Amino acid sequence: MTTLLVIAKEPRPGRVKTRLTPPYSPDEAASLAAAALTDTLRAVAATPASRRVLVLDGRPGPWLPPGFDVVPQCGGGLDERLAAAFAACTGPALLIGMDTPQVTPDLLTLEPDGCDAWFGPAEDGGFWALGLASPDPELLRGVPMSRPDTGARQRARLVEAGLRVRDLPLLRDVDTAADADAVAASAPDGRFAAELARVRPGVRR
C-alpha cells in the first residue's frame, strides 16, 4: 500500500494563513489553519495506507490523531522540503498539504493501473497532491514553487522523466478569504466549515 505524507506548519498565529489577514485576525487565521489541518489528517487517517507521516514545521498539537509518525521538515525551499519527504519513502507515496480540507479518502486512494505518478492540480496553478510509485526526490528539486506555473512545471518534470501520469481532480487551496468561503461551501460538514462559520461574525468589515 501507499505511504501518505502530509506536509504542514504548526498552526500558530502569524505563521500560517497570513493571506487571510485581513479580513481575519492572526488568531482567527491560525484557528482556520488548525481546522483545515484537522480535516486533512482525518481524511488521511481514514484512507488505507502502509504508513501515515506528518512532515511538520513546528510541534504537534491536539489536532494530531493517533496513527501518524511525525518527522520534522528539513531546511531549504519548498522544493527541497518536498523532495526530502519523498526521499524517506521506500515504496509508493502520496504527498498532500494542509490547504485542502475538502479532501476525502476516495481522492487519496490511488489505483495502480499502470501509472507511475499521480498529479493533483490546484486552481491557483500549483498542486495539492503528488504521488510517485517509485519516489525520486530529484523529480521535485529545482521546480520553482509558489508561482502560477508551479503545477505546470512540476507535471512537465514528471512527463519529461518518462513517467505515466494520472491526473487527480482539480481542487481549490485555502489561501484567501474567498478561497475559504468556497472551500467551506464545498465541504459544509467539515471542521473547517464549522470554524469559518464561528469566526466569520468577528470579521472586520
Q: Where are the domains of the chain?
A: 3-202
What is the per-residue pLDDT for 114?
A: 86
Q: Cell numbers 520553482 label which residue?
A: 144
Angle between helices 177-186 and 191-199 (to 10 degrees): 130
CATH number of the domain at 3-202, out of 3.90.550.10, 3.40.190.290, 1.10.3720.10, 3.40.50.740? 3.90.550.10
Q: Please, which residues have CB within 8 angstroms of residue 156's CB and are 6 or more apart in sequence?
A: none
Return the ∠ at Cα 39 (arms to 36 and 43), rounded to 5°: 140
Q: Provide the strand spans (E) within 33-187.
A: 51-57, 69-72, 93-96, 117-121, 127-132, 165-167
pLDDT average, residue stretch 185-197: 97
pTM of this prediction? 0.94
Bridge partners for 55 per DSSP: 7, 71
Tally helices (H) and strands (E) across the chain. 6, 7
Tens-place pLDDT, residues 107-144: 999 887 789 999 999 999 999 999 999 999 999 999 99
